[in-house]
């Protein structure tokens, strides 16, 4: 039994050593993935804006002529900022709001309790944006490069 416990402890130390060297990866992958996705989604919406305005109107979203370009622009601009890792924490806020509105409007017919909410891709995006908003863009980002410069100018 001691041999199994020692092997398990050694394996655990190995895993911790490897994962300790990869702490930069989750934020980077998350940021690049959702940043690209929302940048492209916003671009697609802006290039097909009349269709998006009509769709927003069909969903019952108030002022679709304003809301559609606003949501599309938020996705494009904030997605691009997140992709670059620039002002990531700030850029997550409008996208969380856009996803909440999407759940309330486009997904309301699919909602039948908390379990269904956890199955919505929009909810997953909210969780990922919340995580990026709290923990930041990671070390491979413009935020990490610019933050010390902004701090030194603020003093």
CB 82 within 8 A of CB 38: yes
Give this prediction's pTM: 0.88
Q: What is the pLDDT of residues 5-55, one digit of tens each?
A: 999 999 999 999 999 999 999 999 999 999 999 999 999 999 999 999 999
User: Mean pLDDT across the chain, nearest whole number?
Assistant: 94
Give residue 155's pLDDT.
67
Average pLDDT over residues 117-133: 97
The pLDDT value given to residue 1: 79
pLDDT band at 104 (very low <50, low <70, confident <90, very high): very high
The pLDDT confidence band at residue 75, using thresholds 50, 70 and 90, is: very high
Q: What local confidence, expressed as pLDDT, does residue 83 receive?
A: 98
Structure tokens at 18: 């490897």
Cα 63 to Cα 60: distance, rounded to the nearest angstrom: 9
- CA end-to-end span of the chain, whole Å? 59
């Amino acid at each position: 039994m001691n041999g199994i416990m020692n092997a398990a402890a050694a394996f655990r130390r190995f895993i911790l050593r490897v994962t300790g060297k990869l702490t930069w990866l989750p934020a980077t992958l998350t940021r690049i993935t959702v940043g690209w996705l929302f940048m492209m989604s916003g671009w697609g919406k802006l290039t097909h804006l009349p269709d998006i305005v009509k769709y927003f109107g069909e969903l019952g979203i108030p002022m679709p002529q304003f809301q559609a370009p606003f949501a599309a622009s938020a996705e494009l601009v904030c997605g691009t900022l997140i992709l670059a890792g620039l002002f990531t924490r700030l850029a997550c806020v409008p996208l969380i709001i856009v996803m909440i509105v999407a759940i309330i409007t486009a997904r309301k017919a699919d909602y039948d309790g908390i379990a269904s909410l956890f199955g919505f891709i929009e909810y997953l995006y909210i969780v990922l944006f919340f995580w990026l908003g709290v923990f930041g863009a990671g070390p491979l980002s413009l935020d990490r490069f610019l933050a010390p410069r902004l701090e030194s100018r603020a003093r």
